[in-house]
């Protein structure tokens, strides 16, 4: 990968800022990032996003568009750090016998449908000239070719679908701006409520602050030639 200097001006938006990784990304961008303004979006706050309510996503995009118009700043970074693995709707499946429609609907809503709607409403705000970056937190287990263990049907499938959305959107985004970068990101196993029940003995689990720093460093080093890839926190391109 060829390092490219991030823009020293512009707006950065973190979606999922209420989660552990999203909050760490937001904090580091606010304290150390090269952007003039950093905004966190989530299920709470002044600008609220609810993936089950497309109107909220459209309204959030309009609020960001108004902010850009009033400040003269361009949206240079969009980071999506939302994800769902387990909760009241169900747990990741160990077998096809555990497949459940309610769980599948929730895992696809958060991991796939929501990010797709963010692409729909936020990508038109990205500038048509100059470097801009869109990063979507995905997972290595979303790789179809790198699946040796099976299980986790819904989570794997929803992240694989997200990777395809990112790849497809990257192609269209390049037509609008040849300097744009759109990637899926594998943060490794991060110490968050999402991963804690499944952290195995001997598995390297990293603090959110460390994972956030690694991801931001990787994004800073990406070039337009890297767009459409699934990239891990070490900067390595992973197979789809």
Q: Per-residue pLDDT tens for 65-76? A: 999 999 999 999
The whole-number average pLDDT for the span 191-201 is 64
pLDDT band at 202 (very low <50, low <70, confident <90, very high): low
What pLDDT, on a 0 to 100 scale, did the predictor assign at position 2?
Answer: 40
What pLDDT, on a 0 to 100 scale, did the predictor assign at position 35?
Answer: 96
> Which stretches of 161-239 are assigned E, i.e. beta strand?
180-186, 230-232, 237-238
Whether the per-residue pLDDT at 195 is higher than 90: the answer is no
pLDDT band at 3 (very low <50, low <70, confident <90, very high): very low
What mean pLDDT, rounded, does the chain reach? 92
Gyration radius of the chain's alpha carbons: 17
pLDDT band at 86 (very low <50, low <70, confident <90, very high): very high
Whether the per-residue pLDDT at 42 is higher than 50: the answer is yes
The whole-model pTM stands at 0.92
Residues 6 or more apart in contact with residue 24 via CB below 8 angstroms: 208, 209, 211, 212
Q: Per-residue pLDDT tens for 213-226? A: 999 999 999 999 99
Q: In sequence order, what are the beta bridge partners of 80?
A: 15, 136
pLDDT band at 6 (very low <50, low <70, confident <90, very high): very low
Percent of the chain scoring above 70 in pLDDT: 92
The whole-number average pLDDT for the span 175-202 is 82
What pLDDT, on a 0 to 100 scale, did the predictor assign at position 155?
Answer: 96
What pLDDT, on a 0 to 100 scale, did the predictor assign at position 194?
Answer: 65
Residues 6 or more apart in contact with residue 36 via CB below 8 angstroms: 9, 10, 11, 71, 73
Whether the per-residue pLDDT at 9 is higher than 90: the answer is no
Whether the per-residue pLDDT at 16 is higher than 90: the answer is yes
Percent of the chain scoring above 90 in pLDDT: 85
Whether the per-residue pLDDT at 125 is higher than 90: the answer is yes
Per the CB < 8 A criterion, the answer to whether 211 and 193 are in contact is: no
**Rounded to an integer, what distance in angstroms lies between the CA atom of residue 91 and that of residue 157?**
14
């Amino acid at each position: 990968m060829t390092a490219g200097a991030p823009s020293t001006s512009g707006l950065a938006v973190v979606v999922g800022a209420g989660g552990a990784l999203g909050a760490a990304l937001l904090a580091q961008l606010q304290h150390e990032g090269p952007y003039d303004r950093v905004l966190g979006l989530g299920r709470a706050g002044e600008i609220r996003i609810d993936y089950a309510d497309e109107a909220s996503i459209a309204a959030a995009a309009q609020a960001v568009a108004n902010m850009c118009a009033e400040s003269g700043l361009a949206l240079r970074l969009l980071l999506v750090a939302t994800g769902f693995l387990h909760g009241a709707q169900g747990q990741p499946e160990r077998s096809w016998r555990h497949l459940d429609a309610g769980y599948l609907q929730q895992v696809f809503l958060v991991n796939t449908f929501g990010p797709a709607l963010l692409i729909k409403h936020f990508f038109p705000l990205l500038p048509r000239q100059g470097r801009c970056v869109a990063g979507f937190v995905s997972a290595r287990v979303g790789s179809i070719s790198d699946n040796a263990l099976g299980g986790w049907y819904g989570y794997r499938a929803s992240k694989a679908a997200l990777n395809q959305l990112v790849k497809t959107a990257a192609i269209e985004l390049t037509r609008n701006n040849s300097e744009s970068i759109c990637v899926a990101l594998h943060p490794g196993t991060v110490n968050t409520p999402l991963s804690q029940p499944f952290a195995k003995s001997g598995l390297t689990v990293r603090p959110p602050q460390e994972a956030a720093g690694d991801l931001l460093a990787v994004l800073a080093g990406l070039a337009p030639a890297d767009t459409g890839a699934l990239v891990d926190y070490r900067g390595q391109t992973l197979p789809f």
